[in-house]
Amino acid sequence: MRRGGVLICLLAGISSGQQNTVIRTETRVVLVDVIVTGRNGRYIRDLTQKDFHVWQDNKEQTIASFALESSAAAPQPRSLVLFFDNSSMEARDQIPARRAAANFIDAETGPNRKMAVVTYDGQLKIGQNFTDNAGRLKDSLPAPTSRVTEERPGRSSLNNTVPQGGAVDDTGARNMLRSLRDLGRSLGVLPGRKIIVLFAGKIASSSQQRSDLNDVIQTCNESGVAVYPVDVRPVFMDTTAENSSVNVFPDNPRARGRTAGPQGDSDDTRIGVADTGSTTQLMLADLARRTGGLVIGNSNDLLGGLQEVAAEQDQYYALTYVPPESKEGSCHALKVKVDRGGTTVRARNSYCATKPMDLLAGTTMGKDLEKRAAEGKSGNISASLELPYFYTGPHVARVDVAMELTPGALKFENRKGRLHAEINLLGIASNQDGEVRARFSDTLKFDFDNEAQISNWKTAPVHYAKEFRIASGEYTFTMAFGDASQSNESFGKIQVPLVIGPWTGAELALSGLVLSRETRPAADVGLSLSLGGQTPLIAGSTQVVPSGSGLFARTDTAFFYFEVYDPDPPSVTVRVRALDRKTGGTKWDSGFSKLPLPSNGGKPSIPAMARLPFDSLGPGLWTLEVAASDSAGKTVTRTGDFEVR
């Protein structure tokens, strides 16, 4: 038996990924973040599951899981974006906003609190991707600039004044809202609760904006993003007689005035008149109220308001429920109440049954793959498959599908002067009763100029990656795939068990194991308007790409990756062994070791990776075993098989 040290690398940056707070409908789980305060504005932290009630479309739902979240016990880092709408802010208001943001960055960044900076000045610009480096964040804060006016094509720039009774030119405001929507959509790939802090001034309003505002709110709700608008205009700027007593910032001690904010559905929002100040407040209040955020008014203490936003990252309850079946793409009203008098409850007010990743649903090709999946034949297209999983919250996991297909049987046809072929894929996770709990379908397309290129391409497997979310449980996962043009001749099928143990978020747990032959440098990730749908696996400065095969050559450089979850990471001890699959004997042993912890003492979720010890193993059939133990004496073990030739 060989004993060697294992290089364990920790995640220093934030892992992006397709992790919407609203779980996709095929998983049939909806996650709702709830903030509860008392009459004095203080957060209430002693509620239990029985104190909460959740309604969807006025029908009460059964709460499936319940947890009080805080950054100290969060399984994933918090994600907060500082969004500066310079098109709506006067230069004199940008200066104190920038100063408050800089102080906020100094006070709140940390290993479990990542921030990013974006600016809108006619177009959305990413100043700084997610990082906990306060210096880089402050350097990216926008310098004060004059307000940018966007105009409709053909409109003269000589006169930007809206005539009495004329139409409001809200082009810039509508484009800002669309940029905010796109940002909210891109943040859907990140794990956990996400926050956008929107610094804004006077926003031109019109009736045409209603659909844009609703799009922003719906997208943010689908992505699990709460919006916290900051009205940077000081109190004394709101001087019109008709608005002097208006307060549309409910439940915020830093808001102007003390009267109650707007009540009822979003259709009550009064957008459609030229902006005198109050319409901006109404828009910001609606944006915050319907996404579960809060409006911060400028009462000469912007930093204090921002600190309230930071506090809310540590003061919310996470509830899940299984929604009734509904039409894909349909949206539903949500309402959360608490059985305690004198409380204020804030949560997003809608849930959308987003269309699943099922491109072939209802098509002839999709039905053919469903038939193939139910049959006993394995087909003539060979492939290998790995299904590592990672907890994203209590009783919910993200499954990474990694597959290597042998394209030898694929046939190409001439299409517009190029040689073209397609592979259709269908993945289904079913429980022991045969009920489908997750499903996706996809199409891979290939185009080449000549036969020589095809022959060269066919010498290596085709790598396919996908991910889906599913509740913990025991499943059978079936992947069926076939040549789109020769579905009756060329097809394949793989069927493997998928077992995801329960996890409440309050005890030790391990993810599945990833085997990899490819790594990449990991830059800051998570904030891009062109992000794909695959969650990168990052440990330290390295991104690990999951392999769909456990077969390696001894000359390969290969790696393994896993994640540890525990409320007390410093107490966790990890041991990694390589076992002879035939005899069960230990061939290589890392020994017992503590995971290195970041400067804040450790996070409940710790990614780790190391090289597979091929030098110590040699050719053969092996089992990788990772065991984690905590101070309570609990041990959790995960295994994965691989072969070295």
> Quick one: pLDDT at residue 138?
93
> Quick one: pLDDT at residue 359?
56
Q: Is 150 domain-assigned?
A: no
Q: Is 422 domain-assigned?
A: yes
Cα separation, 192 vs 78, whole angstroms: 7
CB atoms within 10 A of CB 42: 9
> In which band, very low, low, confident or very high, does the pLDDT at 270 lie, cut at 50, 70 and 90?
very low
The count of C-alpha atoms lying within 13 angstroms of the C-alpha of 430, restricted to the half-sphere facing its C-beta, is 16
Q: Please give the average per-residue pLDDT across 241-269, as a whole number.
A: 35
User: Which of 18-22, 432-436, 626-630 has the largest mean confidence?
Assistant: 626-630
CB atoms within 10 A of CB 376: 6
Same domain? For 64 and 99 the reply is no
> Quick one: pLDDT at residue 553?
92
β-bridge pairing 551-552 and 635-644: parallel
**What are the tokens at 264?**
């009822």
Percent of the chain residues topping a pLDDT of 70: 75
> Quick one: pLDDT at residue 363?
65
> In which band, very low, low, confident or very high, does the pLDDT at 165 lie, cut at 50, 70 and 90?
very low
Cα separation, 66 vs 472, whole angstroms: 15
Could you list the residue range(s) of the whole structural domain that residue 340 is in?
28-70+320-352
**Residue 531 or 328, more confident:** 328
CA torsion through residues 581, 584, 589, 591, sign: positive
> Quick one: pLDDT at residue 76?
56
Cα separation, 390 vs 370, whole angstroms: 27
φ, ψ for residue 228, nearest 5 deg: -115, 90
Cα separation, 2 vs 557, whole angstroms: 19
On the question of pLDDT at 643 being above 90, the answer is yes
**What are the tokens at 305?**
């308001």
CB atoms within 10 A of CB 238: 22
> Quick one: pLDDT at residue 642?
95
CATH number at residue 583: 2.60.40.3880
On the question of pLDDT at 56 being above 90, the answer is yes
What distances in angstroms separate CA 91 from CA 85, 96, 233, 383, 576, one per listed residue?
Answer: 11, 10, 11, 60, 57
> In which band, very low, low, confident or very high, does the pLDDT at 67 lie, cut at 50, 70 and 90?
confident
Segment 499-549, tens digit of pLDDT: 999 998 889 999 999 999 988 876 544 554 333 456 788 887 788 899 999
**Residue 601 or 461, more confident:** 461
> Quick one: pLDDT at residue 329?
67
Segment 212-230, tens digit of pLDDT: 888 899 888 888 889 999 9
Same domain? For 424 and 484 the reply is yes
When mean pLDDT is compared across 345-354, 419-428, 516-525, the lowest value belongs to 516-525
**262, 269 in Cβ contact below 8 A?**
yes
**What are the tokens at 641?**
């098989």
**41, 335 in Cβ contact below 8 A?**
no
Same domain? For 574 and 600 the reply is yes
**619, 625 in Cβ contact below 8 A?**
no
CB atoms within 10 A of CB 178: 14
Helix, coil or strand: residue 176? helix
Segment 432-478, tens digit of pLDDT: 888 888 888 888 888 888 999 889 888 888 899 998 888 889 999 99
**Which of 314, 337, 362 is where one domain is finished?**
314
Q: Is 408 domain-assigned?
A: yes
Tokens 């269908």 belong to residue: 426
Beta strands in 170-242 (DSSP E): 194-200, 225-234
Query: Average pLDDT of the chain?
Result: 77
Cα separation, 170 vs 211, whole angstroms: 13
Same domain? For 122 and 258 the reply is yes
Same domain? For 269 and 387 the reply is no
Q: Please give the average per-residue pLDDT across 274-287, as a whole number.
A: 68
On the question of pLDDT at 284 being above 80, the answer is yes
On the question of pLDDT at 328 being above 80, the answer is no
> Quick one: pLDDT at residue 337?
94
**Which of 297, 331, 352 is where one domain is finished?**
352
Same domain? For 382 and 439 the reply is yes
Task: Please report the DSSP string for 308-353 in residue order.
Answer: HHHHHTTSEEEEEE-PPP--TT-EEEEEEEESSTT-EEE---EEE-
> Quick one: pLDDT at residue 210?
79
Cα separation, 529 vs 526, whole angstroms: 10
Burial (CB count within 10 angstroms: exposed 0-12, middle 13-18, buried 19+), residue 296: buried
Cα separation, 73 vs 506, whole angstroms: 8
Q: Is 234 domain-assigned?
A: yes
Q: Is 154 domain-assigned?
A: no
> In which band, very low, low, confident or very high, does the pLDDT at 26 lie, cut at 50, 70 and 90?
very low
Same domain? For 335 and 408 the reply is no
On the question of pLDDT at 88 being above 50, the answer is yes
**Residue 439 or 401, more confident:** 401
β-bridge pairing 2-3 and 586-589: parallel
> Quick one: pLDDT at residue 371?
80
Q: Please give the average per-residue pLDDT across 378-385, as a whole number.
A: 85
What distances in angstroms separate CA 222 from CA 35, 177, 395, 473, 564, one per listed residue?
Answer: 18, 16, 19, 24, 28
**Residue 588 or 123, more confident:** 588
Helix, coil or strand: residue 19? coil
> In which band, very low, low, confident or very high, does the pLDDT at 357 lie, cut at 50, 70 and 90?
low
On the question of pLDDT at 16 being above 80, the answer is no
> Quick one: pLDDT at residue 500?
94
CATH number at residue 255: 3.40.50.410
On the question of pLDDT at 389 being above 90, the answer is yes
**Residue 598 or 134, more confident:** 134
CATH number at residue 412: 2.60.40.10
Same domain? For 484 and 546 the reply is no
Nearest in space to 427 (alpha carbons), one of 370, 474, 491:
370
Tokens 């950054």 belong to residue: 71
DSSP symbol at 267: G
> Quick one: pLDDT at residue 251?
41
**Which of 485, 504, 523 is where one domain is finished?**
504
> Quick one: pLDDT at residue 479?
92
Cβ within 8 Å of residue 199, ≥6 positions away: 82, 83, 84, 85, 89, 97, 101, 230, 232
φ, ψ for residue 195, nearest 5 deg: -130, 135
Helix, coil or strand: residue 237? helix
Segment 544-583, tens digit of pLDDT: 899 999 999 989 999 999 999 988 888 899 999 999 999 9
Q: Is 121 domain-assigned?
A: yes
Same domain? For 255 and 116 the reply is yes
Q: Is 327 domain-assigned?
A: yes
What distances in angstroms separate CA 178 from CA 186, 245, 352, 470, 493, one per listed residue?
Answer: 12, 31, 19, 31, 42
Name the domain count of the chain: 4
First and final C-alpha spacing in the chain: 20
Partnered with residue 65 across adjacent β-strands are 320
**What are the tokens at 289?**
């109220």
On the question of pLDDT at 423 being above 80, the answer is yes
Q: Please give the average per-residue pLDDT across 60-81, as a whole number.
A: 74
Same domain? For 413 and 338 the reply is no
Same domain? For 479 and 564 the reply is no
**Residue 485 or 309, more confident:** 309
Q: Is 565 domain-assigned?
A: yes
> In which band, very low, low, confident or very high, does the pLDDT at 25 lie, cut at 50, 70 and 90?
very low
φ, ψ for residue 340, nearest 5 deg: -155, 125
Nearest in space to 474 (alpha carbons), one of 514, 518, 440, 429:
429
Computed over its alpha carbons, how large is the radius of gyration of the chain?
27
> Quick one: pLDDT at residue 584?
93
> Quick one: pLDDT at residue 162?
32
Same domain? For 115 and 204 the reply is yes
Helix ranges restricted to H, 75-190: 91-108, 134-139, 171-187
CA torsion through residues 361, 362, 363, 369, sign: positive
